[in-house]
């Protein structure tokens, strides 16, 4: 999980999630909030429900532009004392960029 968060928070991904990242996060941190941006709408969704939301959006004829960690989720991770130091440092580095 730490490895996945570090990758997502890196300067290569800037908080955006790949399908593989979402698969890991929904199992390891199901209550983490993700942002799903579509052609016409945006949704905040728990990681464990994100795939169902994506399927619903696509079944209704829209498309998913991307999935990312919203600022509030990143802020919550940064403030949480149980967040590993490496993840907190990655957040600081991303913000400093």
Structural domain contains residue 97: no
Q: What is the pLDDT of residue 78?
A: 95
Structural domain contains residue 40: yes
Structural domain contains residue 28: yes
Between residues 2 and 89, the one the model is more confident about: 89
Q: If you average pLDDT over every residue of the chain, what do you get?
A: 93
What's the total number of domains in the chain? 1
Structural domain contains residue 82: no
Q: Is the pTM of this model over 0.85?
A: yes
Closest CA to 93 of 29, 22, 5: 5
Q: How many angstroms separate the CA atoms of 28 and 48, rounded? A: 9
How is 55-91 classified by DSSP, letter by letter? HHHHHTT--EEEEE--HHHHHHHHH-TTS-HHHHHHH
Between residues 55 and 2, the one the model is more confident about: 55
Q: What is the pLDDT of residue 97?
A: 75
């Amino acid at each position: 999980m730490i490895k996945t968060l570090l990758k997502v928070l890196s300067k290569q991904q800037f908080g955006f999630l790949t399908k593989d990242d979402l698969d890991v996060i929904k199992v390891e941190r199901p209550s983490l909030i993700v942002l799903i941006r579509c052609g016409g709408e945006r949704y905040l969704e728990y990681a464990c429900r994100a795939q169902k939301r994506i399927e619903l959006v696509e079944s209704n004829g829209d498309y998913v532009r991307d999935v990312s960690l919203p600022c509030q989720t990143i802020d919550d991770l940064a403030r949480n004392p149980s967040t590993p130091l490496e993840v907190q440092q990655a957040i600081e580095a991303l913000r400093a960029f």
